[in-house]
Structure 1
Amino acid sequence: MSDATPAPPAGYALVTGASSGIGEQIAREYARRGVPLVLTARRADRLQALATELRAQVPVELVAADLADPAAPEALVAELARRGVKIRILVNNAGYGIPGRYRSSDWTDHAAFLRVMVTSVCELTWRLLPSIRTAGHGRILNVASFAALMPAADGQTLYAPAKAFLLKFSEALALENNDKGVHVTALCPGFTYSEFHDVTGTRARMRVSPSMWLQAADVARAGIDGTERGDVLVVPGWRYRVLHAIVKLLPHRLALGMMARNSRKVRPLD
């Protein structure tokens, strides 16, 4: 009897938003596990550097795409078909935040945000689901946020609703595709060390206990492990799991009031 580690099932993992943060760490973790990769993001130079590094472990395909472009999901899937790349795992990770209250940003900014955070996720999933269902051991990992599990906050008005949509979307997909052995997971991390708060310009205003910050590599590993187990919801970090349990027990008005008082610790002023 051989003690060799079995090879992973055939098929690529497509990771959106793979150029930094949690997406980059998810790509690194899949490469460590021997899963070939398709990496996509807007920043082609950073993708190329990561692809060059990871090709020492697994085959890596690179497709630069801006998911704020309504044509991007269809074009991305068409390019994969042209290359003959079969997707077994889809990681919908691309995302960002728009700081400030709702009317402080133009509608064009909000519309682009929704295309990246919601519409492109739905379209990529719809277009790739047949391949994922037929590949065997299919997986869909949607990177949501702990914000999806909490009352809404003041500022970044569309962020929590978009992430809550990903959670419900994941639950429905999990039920619909369980018959084919497809595992669908919503990963809901809390505050994570990445470029997120630098991009939104909120880093200097963050007044969050150091104990509440997560490492992106730990979040990535927790999400992939949860997807392999078939967990529909993954909340990394025991402190966040305890907080989630407490918030569920609070009256909604009280929980919303607590969020209103704490929003100013992590949100920029208009």
Structure 2
Amino acid sequence: MARRLVLITGASSGIGLAFARTYAAHGWDVAVTARRADRLEKLVEEIRLRFGVEAHALPADLADPATPEALQKSLLALGRTVDGLVNNAGYGLTGGFIGNALENHQTLMQVMMTAPVELIHRFAPGMVEQKFGRIINVASLAGFLPASPGDPLYGPIKTFLTRFSQSLHLEMRDHGVHVTALCPGFTYTEFHDAVGASKLSKAIPEWAWMGADEVAREGYVAAEANRAACVPGAPNKAAAALLKVLPDDWTMEFSAGQLRKLQR
């Protein structure tokens, strides 16, 4: 039987790259997509040599609404079907809501909401037909907060991804398709530097951080176990449980404190 294939978005660094290595280590072929073609080529070369599986680099920008269809066509041209999908691509904005052009917010929603939904809609029918599939949507512990500091859309988008994943989990669980929302907390990646939040990174205690490899491994295990949601790491699990019972007024004050740190 041919090896399963997983498509991973945002795979040029961080959690997406870690997922590519994790799936390859478990015998999956991988197709990776991101904007940085040079990094993707290095990654697929590493995966082929290290794990002995097929790896395909599909450079693309999910900000382009045509990208999900183009990715599907590229994989069909390779003669491959998608057995697993990891929607990991994402980023954050600085400057607040009115401090950014409307186009910036629209692009954020395209990359982190619209594109994941479309990719699932394109590939899930094939998973249902073969009665096997794995879908992981990388959300965030920020989705448990009523407000996200510095970027008012980031947290709500992650909340959407979590709730959408849970709903889809119910719809797909009798068809052999596992759907999981992965909700990591602070993770060592390029994310914080990319959004200009390195100062906040230094303000967070070391025990609160996890490595991208550890996050990806926990996400993989959760998807195989068909858990609707996964919060990796004991501190993050405790925080998620606490956020469910704390009044919104309290957690909004916490978010306000984080915003002040970003503005210093």
Q: Same fold (TM over 0.5)?
A: yes
Q: Which residue of 2 aligns with 1:224?
A: 220
User: Is structure 2 residue 228 aligned with structure 1 residue 242?
Assistant: no
Q: Distance in 1 between matches of 2:248 and 2:154?
A: 20
User: Is structure 2 residue 227 aligned with structure 1 residue 264?
Assistant: no
Q: Distance in 1 between matches of 2:186 and 2:33?
A: 24
CA drift of 1:172 comes to 1.1
Q: Which residue of 2 aligns with 1:3?
A: none
Identity of aligned residues (%): 44
Residue of 27, 39, 47 corresponding to 2:32: 39
Q: When the two structures are aligned, how many residues end up with a matched partner?
A: 261
User: Is structure 2 residue 152 aligned with structure 1 residue 136?
Assistant: no
**Over aligned residue pairs, what C-alpha RMSD do you find?**
1.4
Q: Distance in 1 between matches of 2:158 and 2:174?
A: 26
CA drift of 1:151 comes to 2.1
**In the TM superposition, what are the counterparts of 1:3-22 in structure 2 within 5 Å?**
10-22=3-15
Q: Distance in 2 between matches of 1:135 and 1:156?
A: 40
Specify the SS of the correspondent of 1:90: strand
CA drift of 1:137 comes to 2.9
**In the TM superposition, what are the counterparts of 1:42-191 in structure 2 within 5 Å?**
42-56=35-49, 57=51, 58-191=53-186
Q: Which residue of 1 aligns with 2:206?
A: 210
Q: Distance in 2 between matches of 1:246 and 1:204?
A: 25
Give the aligned residue type for 1:136.
K
CA drift of 1:81 comes to 1.1
> 4+ residue stretches of structure 1 with deviation over 4 A?
none
CA drift of 1:201 comes to 1.4
Specify the SS of the correspondent of 1:28: helix
Q: Distance in 2 between matches of 1:210 and 1:249?
A: 25
CA contact (8 A) 1:42 1:64 kept: yes
Specify the SS of the correspondent of 1:87: coil
Q: Mind listing any 5+ residue stretches in structure 1 that lack a counterpart?
A: 1-6
Q: Distance in 1 between matches of 2:66 and 2:210?
A: 34
Q: Distance in 1 between matches of 2:12 and 2:187?
A: 16
CA drift of 1:104 comes to 0.9
Q: Mind listing any 5+ residue stretches in structure 2 that lack a counterpart?
A: none
Q: Distance in 1 between matches of 2:229 and 2:211?
A: 19
* Structure-2 change in CA distance of 1:91 and 1:256 (3 Å): same
CA drift of 1:268 comes to 4.1
TM-score of the aligned structures, taking structure 1 as reference length: 0.93
CA drift of 1:152 comes to 1.0
- C-alpha distance after superposition, 1:97-131 (max 9, x if no partner): 11121011111111111110001001111011112
CA contact (8 A) 1:146 1:188 kept: yes
